Amino acid sequence: MANTATIEIDGKRFEFPLVKGSENEVAIDISKLRSSTNGIITIDPGFKNTGSCESAITFLDGEKGILRYRGYSIETLAEKVDFLEVAYLLIFGELPTKSQNDKFHADIIAESHVDEDIKKILDAFPKTAHPMGIMSSLTSALTAFNATSVNVDSEEDMYKSVVKLLGKLPVLLAWTLRKKQGLPLDYGDNSLGYVENLLKMMFSKPNSEYVQDQVLVDALDKLLILHADHEQNCSTSTVRIVGSSHAGLFASISAGISALWGPLHGGANQAVLEMLEDIQADGGDTKKYMAKAKDKNDPFRLMGFGHRVYKNFDPRAKIIKKAADQVLHDLGVNDPILEIAKALEKEALEDPYFVDRKLYPNVDFYSGIIYRAMGIPTDMFTVMFAVGRLPGWIAQWREMRLRKEPIGRPRQVYTGETERNYVPVEER
Ligand code: CMC
- Residues 320-340: tens digit of each pLDDT: 988 888 888 999 888 888 889
Q: Is the CB of 364 under 6 A from ligand 1?
A: yes
Residue 145, burial from CB neighbour count under 10 angstroms (0-12, 13-18, 19+): middle
Cα–ligand 1 centroid distance for 59 (angstroms):
21
Ligand 1 proximity of 307 Cβ (cutoff 6 Å): yes
> Which distant-in-sequence residues (6+ apart) come within 8 Å of 213 by Cβ?
none
| Distance, CA of 257 to CA of 252 (rounded, Å) | 9
Beta strands in 21-171, from DSSP E residues, in sequence order: 26-28, 58-61, 66-69, 72-73
Q: Predicted confidence band at 153 (pLDDT cuts at 50, 70, 90)?
A: confident
Q: How many Å apart are CA 169 and CA 394, to the nearest integer?
A: 12
Q: Is the pLDDT of residue 309 over 90?
A: no
Q: Atom 35 of ligand 1 has which residue's CA nearest to it?
A: 264
Q: Which of 307, 314, 330, 335 is catalytic?
A: 307
pLDDT tens for 64-113 read 999 999 999 999 999 999 999 999 999 999 999 999 999 999 999 999 99
Query: Can you say whether the dihedral through the CA atoms of 341, 342, 343, 345 is positive or negative?
Result: positive
Determine whether 364 is an active site residue.
yes
When mean pLDDT is compared across 85-94, 147-156, 381-390, the lowest value belongs to 147-156
Pocket test of ligand 1: the residue of 74, 239, 258, 264 to mutate, having most ligand atoms within 8 Å of its CB, is: 264
DSSP string, 96-117: PPHHHHHHHHHHHHTT----TT
Which residue puts its alpha carbon closest to atom 37 of ligand 1? 306
Q: Is the pLDDT of residue 1 over 80?
A: no
Q: Indicate whether residue 293 lines ligand 1 (CB < 6 A).
A: yes
Query: How confident is the model at residue 338, as a pLDDT?
Result: 84
pTM above threshold 0.85: yes
